[in-house]
Amino acid sequence: MQEQFFEIQQTRRYYQNSLVSKPKILLALHGYGQLAGFFYQKFSFLEERFGLIIPEGPHRFYLNGSSGRVGASWMTKEWRLQDIEENTNYLLQLVEEIQKKHTESTIHLLGFSQGGATAARLYQRNPKLFSQLILWASVFPSDIEKSTFANAAQLNFVLGENDVYFSQDKQIEIKNEYKVLGFNVHSFDGGHDIDQCVLTDILGKI
């Protein structure tokens, strides 16, 4: 048996509001098991002031068994490096196209949970495209050499104090890790979710 490869053109889905006359555009990448349409609702409170772009991970699946609710992910451990490359290339093309059409707008990149690693890789590919990078409740990707990580934009890391995926010891460890990388670290009284007040404060700093 030999593994083979066949290249095709793919179509990726994303959601957005009107970007016209919006000086700031937020590009937000969802976490594991979420859909972009659902994730968009977490940022709808920003619609009047911000352009919103919410891409969807390419791998959709049933969350429970073989029917019912569907979620999406950016990758699994299977053929991981190829998925990383294709996700990064797709998102980079999307951002570059947005920038061509909205030259006066700044682009702010947010990655939540699993989407944080994807956001970090996208930012690392071309940090000059972004005014901010916000990694939210996510582990820094092990495939990025920390000594080479760019700090051309304002860097922020956010973690809820009651996030079930991070023990108290892990919270201390990961916050220190991000501080060393040059991130501003933010906490809030909540769990594995987006906090509107913290996000509004971070986006208002640029």
pLDDT in tens, 15-28: 999 999 999 999 99
Which residues contact residue 63 at a Cβ distance below 8 angstroms, ignoring those fewer than 6 apart? 33, 69, 70, 71
When pLDDT is cut at 50, 70 and 90, the band that residue 197 belongs to is: very high
CA nearest to 26, candidates 57, 8, 48, 59: 48
pLDDT tens profile 133-191? 999 999 999 999 999 999 889 999 999 999 999 999 999 999 999 999 999 999 999 99
Q: In terms of Cα–Cα distance, which of 38, 78, 70, 67 is closest to 54?
A: 38
The answer to whether residue 99 scores a pLDDT higher than 90 is yes
Residue 205 is predicted with a pLDDT of 87
CATH class of 14-203: alpha beta
DSSP state of 110: E
Report the distance separating Cα 117 and Cα 136, nearest Å.
Answer: 10
> What pLDDT was estimated at residue 206?
79
